[in-house]
């Protein structure tokens, strides 16, 4: 069994701790302690638990135990002050609070496992060979487009690109990556952009054996970049399943814009949006510039709507009413321009649901997006988000867990925030707390999880901790009581607001 959390992998069979591709030196007893904490992450572990399970009942001094705990924290890049992953619970013990994905050990599988129902592939981050780090956004955008093209092939299971992004800049063992992502094939490559020319090199690898199956190079002027992306996807598809027509990719491909400047602005904006909540105003400005160049650029319109929604939600808008009207207009224009693009459907539905459209109609739009692309991790994430808003917390958690399975190594802050909120609305306050702590750790500039965590602490009677969280929230925003109109269930609205009132008292 491999236990994955953040960039770390704890391989219980090999007794190895890795961060990315790097092996972290860790003494055996510290490994045992860490493994025990991660495996029992659902509860607080007492000193007696550790002595009984890790030291087999032997007497160990408090100082020796503390030394081992600190060594485990250091191995994870944690410390006793931040306590991001290993948290001390006063007078009770310690608890591992990271979000963990369990990856079965392939050695425990049968020698001749049945093949997966569908061929499966992950696209690893491509190398930027341009000699200019500022072109990273262009290379990352290229990978995203290739993933999108591959996702249109219904018989191919494609892992979301942000799951593979954790391997960027690391030398990787392709067999290990294949096991961690649960895929049969890996596509890796490079992009060189020089002046007006672009070269994309790619190679397809059998993740089980490490064998290189296919390699090719595609080169052309920058105006041909969209055709080059389709050629990569079609060539990979043609190799994986020659019995099926790879031309399906080209046949179903619909380029949302032919304006390369608009495309470049969109890529820059998308990269900024993913960086942190603080960069969203800048991302919106770039999206609007792209839309000015191409008023029917569906993905840019949909993401502009998402930017407006987040600015209102995070109380970063100088004129929320104007932002709402603008965001709703962007979303409707996106649907008119790209009504069959799953990403546009889901993002537009999210924006319109927040701006007041019927929630069930918006969920139906997301269902349509998932029918078009069942592998669309963000679509499942949005289905979970809208289900939280609709007052269906358990359905929301199921959808969000599906998104995390399709994108197992993606940044999990927003998913953790929503799962925590779903537990809050279901009155499972204890279950909400670790998810919300994880969301804050993932993006400390995002206000929502602070509010949900403060409310959860307050309903648990932990008012001191609730007030501490509000203090951290006020360092980000003056707004403690959030916009709650998008939560359709009045009992859920009151549960959140009453918790915040308790915390602020």
Do 37 and 99 lie in a common domain?
Answer: yes
Contacts for 298 with CB less than 8 Å, ≥ 6 apart: 256, 334, 337, 338, 341, 344
Question: How many Å apart are CA 419 and CA 333, to the nearest integer?
Answer: 31
Contacts for 306 with CB less than 8 Å, ≥ 6 apart: 273, 347, 350, 351
Do 454 and 498 lie in a common domain?
Answer: yes
Contacts for 274 with CB less than 8 Å, ≥ 6 apart: 162, 411
Measured between alpha carbons, how far is residue 322 from residues 78, 201, 318, 478 in Å?
43, 45, 9, 20
Do 354 and 273 lie in a common domain?
Answer: yes
pLDDT the model gives residue 108 = 41
Do 122 and 239 lie in a common domain?
Answer: yes
Instruction: Confirm whether 343 is domain-assigned.
Output: yes
Measured between alpha carbons, how far is residue 227 from residues 84, 140, 186 in Å?
44, 17, 21
CATH code, 64: 1.10.10.10
Instruction: Confirm whether 176 is domain-assigned.
Output: yes
Do 248 and 279 lie in a common domain?
Answer: no
CATH code, 170: 3.40.50.10610
Provide the whole-model pTM. 0.56
Do 243 and 175 lie in a common domain?
Answer: yes
CATH code, 428: 1.25.40.10
The answer to whether the CB of 311 falls within 8 A of the CB of 280 is yes
Among 196, 225, 252, where does a domain finish? 252
Name which of 98, 67, 58, 60 is nearest 82 in CA terms: 98
Question: How many Å apart are CA 417 and CA 437, to the nearest integer?
Answer: 8
Instruction: Confirm whether 110 is domain-assigned.
Output: no
Instruction: Confirm whether 423 is domain-assigned.
Output: yes
* Bridge partners of residue 135, in order along the sequence: none
Do 148 and 99 lie in a common domain?
Answer: no
pLDDT the model gives residue 233 = 65
Q: Which two tokens stand for residue 353?
A: 């649901």
What is the domain count for the chain?
4
Show pLDDT as tens, one digit a residue, over the chain (505 residues): 788 888 788 888 777 888 876 778 787 788 888 999 999 998 999 888 888 888 776 777 777 788 888 888 888 888 777 788 999 988 888 999 888 887 765 444 333 333 344 678 888 888 888 888 888 888 887 788 778 777 766 667 788 776 777 787 777 788 888 888 888 888 888 888 888 888 888 888 888 878 777 787 878 887 777 777 767 666 665 555 443 333 334 434 455 777 878 888 898 888 888 877 889 999 999 999 999 999 999 999 999 999 999 999 888 888 999 999 999 999 999 999 876 788 899 999 999 999 999 999 999 999 988 888 777 888 999 999 999 999 999 999 999 988 887 776 555 558 899 999 999 999 999 999 999 998 898 888 889 999 999 999 999 999 999 999 999 999 988 889 988 999 999 999 999 999 999 999 8
Name which of 307, 311, 317, 319 is nearest 270 in CA terms: 307
The answer to whether the CB of 21 falls within 8 A of the CB of 173 is yes
Q: Which domain holds residue 265?
A: 257-374
pLDDT the model gives residue 259 = 81
Do 119 and 153 lie in a common domain?
Answer: yes
Q: Which two tokens stand for residue 240?
A: 């994986």
Among 39, 73, 103, where does a domain finish? 103
Do 408 and 501 lie in a common domain?
Answer: yes
Question: How many Å apart are CA 87 and CA 78, to the nearest integer?
Answer: 10
Instruction: Confirm whether 458 is domain-assigned.
Output: yes
HEC letters along 59-99: CCCHHHHHHHHHHHHHHCCCCCCCCCCEEEECCCEEEECCC
Instruction: Confirm whether 391 is domain-assigned.
Output: no
Do 137 and 181 lie in a common domain?
Answer: yes
Which class for 214: exposed (0-12), middle (13-18), buried (19 or more C-beta within 10 A)?
middle
Do 185 and 238 lie in a common domain?
Answer: yes
Instruction: Confirm whether 485 is domain-assigned.
Output: yes
The answer to whether the CB of 375 falls within 8 A of the CB of 147 is no
Do 120 and 238 lie in a common domain?
Answer: yes
The answer to whether the CB of 387 falls within 8 A of the CB of 169 is no
Instruction: Confirm whether 351 is domain-assigned.
Output: yes
**Phi-psi region for residue 377, left (φ > 0), alpha (ψ -120 to 50) or beta?**
alpha
The answer to whether the CB of 409 falls within 8 A of the CB of 102 is no
């Amino acid at each position: 069994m491999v236990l994955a959390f953040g960039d770390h992998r704890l391989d219980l069979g090999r007794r190895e701790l890795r961060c990315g591709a790097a092996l972290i030196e860790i003494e055996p007893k510290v490994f045992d302690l860490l493994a025990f904490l991660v495996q029992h992450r659902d509860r607080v572990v007492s000193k007696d638990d550790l002595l009984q399970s890790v030291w087999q009942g032997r007497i160990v001094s408090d100082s020796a135990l503390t030394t081992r705990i600190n060594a485990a924290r250091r191995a994870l890049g944690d410390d006793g002050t931040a306590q991001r992953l290993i948290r001390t619970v006063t007078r009770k013990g310690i608890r591992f609070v990271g979000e963990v994905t369990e990856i079965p050990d392939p050695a425990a599988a049968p020698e001749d496992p049945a093949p997966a129902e569908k061929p499966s592939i992950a696209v690893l981050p491509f190398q930027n060979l341009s000699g200019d780090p500022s072109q990273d956004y262009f290379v990352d955008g290229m990978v995203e487009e290739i993933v999108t093209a591959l996702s249109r092939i219904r018989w191919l299971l494609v892992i979301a690109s942000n799951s593979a992004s954790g391997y960027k800049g690391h030398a990787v063992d392709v067999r290990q990556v294949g096991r961690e992502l649960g895929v049969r094939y890996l596509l890796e490559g490079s992009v060189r952009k020089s002046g007006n020319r672009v070269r994309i090199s790619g190679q397809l690898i059998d993740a089980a054996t490490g064998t290189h199956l296919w390699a090719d190079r595609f080169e052309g002027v920058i105006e041909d970049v969209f055709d080059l992306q389709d050629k990569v996807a079609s060539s990979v598809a043609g190799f994986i399943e020659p019995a099926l027509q790879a031309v399906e990719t080209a046949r179903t491909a619909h380029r949302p814009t032919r304006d390369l400047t608009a495309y470049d602005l969109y890529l820059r904006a998308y990269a900024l949006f993913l960086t942190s909540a603080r960069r969203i105003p800048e991302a919106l400005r770039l999206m609007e510039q792209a839309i000015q160049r191409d008023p029917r650029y569906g993905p840019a319109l949909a993401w502009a709507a998402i930017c407006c929604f987040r600015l209102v939600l995070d109380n970063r808008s100088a004129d929320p009413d104007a932002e709402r009207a603008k965001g709703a207009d962007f979303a409707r224009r996106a649907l008119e321009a790209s009504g069959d693009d799953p990403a546009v459907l889901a993002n537009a539905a999210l924006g319109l649901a927040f701006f007041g459209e019927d929630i069930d109609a918006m969920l139906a739009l997301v269902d349509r997006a998932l029918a078009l692309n069942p592998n669309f991790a963000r679509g499942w994430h949005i289905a979970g988000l809208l289900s939280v808003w609709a007052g269906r917390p358990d359905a929301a958690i199921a959808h969000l867990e599906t998104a995390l399975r399709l994108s197992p190594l993606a940044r999990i802050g927003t998913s953790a925030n929503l799962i925590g909120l779903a537990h809050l609305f279901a009155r499972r306050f204890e279950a909400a707390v670790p998810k919300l702590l994880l969301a804050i750790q993932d993006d400390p500039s995002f206000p929502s999880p602070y509010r949900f965590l403060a409310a959860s602490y307050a309903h648990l009677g932990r008012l001191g901790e609730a007030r501490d969280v509000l203090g951290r929230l006020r360092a980000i925003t003056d707004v403690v009581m959030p916009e709650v109109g998008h939560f359709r269930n009045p009992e859920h609205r009151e549960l959140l607001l009453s918790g915040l009132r308790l915390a602020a008292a």
